[in-house]
Amino acid sequence: MAMLSTSLSAAGSKSAATLYSPPNFSGLRRSSCPKLENPSSNSLHLFDSQLRLPSLSTRRPCRAVVAMAGTGKFFVGGNWKCNGTKESITKLVSDLNDAKLESDVDVVVAPPFVYIDQVKSSLTDKIEISAQNSWVSKGGAFTGEISVEQLKDIGAKWVILGHSERRHVIGEDDLFIGKKAAYALNEGLGVIACIGELLEDREAGKTFDVCFTQLKAYYSTDAVPSWDNIVIAYEPVWAIGTGKVASPQQAQEVHAALRDWLKKNVSDEVASKTRIIYGGSVNGGNCAELAKQEDIDGFLVGGASLKGPEFATIVNSVTSKKVAA
């Protein structure tokens, strides 16, 4: 059974379904919508055939007015990956310090480990620092690793875990990633918890299965003390660094499904509060349309985060969400 995408209302359909229950989340989401008289096959071409939700009856009705499903603050992270030199990072920091950023956004950048100190001491304190990885337990004889304690010591507040490059290039699995997340959270570091399907998963109709399995690993591996410090980053692997961004509808469909998963498996409160951000070829040109989607609570940005003014545009795309709401 396919789910409604925002394109239904965008296409101007006058129909709406009585079989759909009203929105459930407590954010700015609309509380009611017009009825779909005939949820016919006419509408089905608008659905992404690769995506499946377990039950249409649990889905929300329509999104003629786009609002924010979650109650969390918009969150934008810049993942600098293994890029930069002292010189280029000095320039990037200076551009970020000069940029006018909307105040109601949590902004985080993740420099390579070796530049964290430089960035921390020169970047405006309105932007927090994230690491791109952390060791799974207390530090010690682990050559080449960086511990959570060291990251906290140097002023980092966040760590990106489960990034597709660590899963698919370095070979980290769900169990290891889940343990790392539990350790970091227990030590008080926020976790940007990445998940996302490969192209072959999507083509096989397994997008939701893969994302739910990866999400579950953060939740069930070890004691997660609280969901307050987890931001979920949905990053379809086929969209990362490829220039092939997911359409706003494709991203929204997965984000809505992830929020439903949190609702069913954790709690209504966690589903509402947890930021679910999108990553994969986000740039200054496509961020506004993505930000309008009600379950997209921000972005994790790779390539475009290396350009200060463009990253600022992405941070400030929160304004399209506010206008749309």
303 is a site residue for ligand PGA (CB under 6 A): yes
Size of the site for ligand PGA (CB under 6 A): 13
Q: Of the two residues 13 and 286, which places its CB atom closer to ligand PGA in the complex?
A: 286
145 is catalytic: no
285 in contact with ligand PGA (CB under 6 A): no
Catalytic residue, chosen from 128, 165, 172, 235, is 235
Spatial separation of the C-alpha atoms in residues 109 and 123, rounded to whole Å: 10
**Closer CB to ligand PGA, 17 or 246, in the complex:** 246
Pull the structure tokens for residue 81.
């990956």
- Regarding 277 and contact with ligand PGA (CB under 6 A), the answer is no
Minimum separation from the CB atom of position 82 to ligand PGA (A): 11
Q: Which residues of 301-312 are buried (b: 16+ CB within 10 A; e: fewer)?
A: bbbbbbbbebbb
x/- map, 210-249, ligand PGA, by CB under 6 A: -------------------------x----xx--------
Residue from 236, 248, 298, 302 binding ligand PGA (CB under 6 A): 302
**Catalytic residue list contains 310:** no
Pairing of β 74-79 and β 127-131: unpaired
- According to DSSP, the residues that pair with 161 across neighbouring strands are 193
Among 72, 279, 298, 308, binds ligand PGA (CB under 6 A): 279
Interaction of residue 300 with ligand PGA, rule CB under 6 A: yes
Sites for ligand PGA among residues 93-152 (CB under 6 A): none
Nearer to ligand PGA among residue 60 and residue 163 (C-beta):
163
Give the Cα separation of 231 and 177 in Å (integer). Answer: 15
Characterize the bridge pairing of strands 190-195 and 74-79: unpaired
CA 241 remoteness from chain centre: 16
> Which of 160, 238, 230 lies closest to 206 in space, CA to CA?
238
Which DSSP string corresponds to 95-120? HHHHS---TTEEEEEE--HHHHHHHH
Task: Determine whether 100 is exposed, middle or buried from the number of CB atoms within 10 Å of its CB (0-12, 13-18, 19+).
Answer: exposed
Where on the chain is the footprint of ligand PGA (CB under 6 A)? 79, 235, 240-241, 279-282, 300-304
**Catalytic machinery residues:** 163, 235
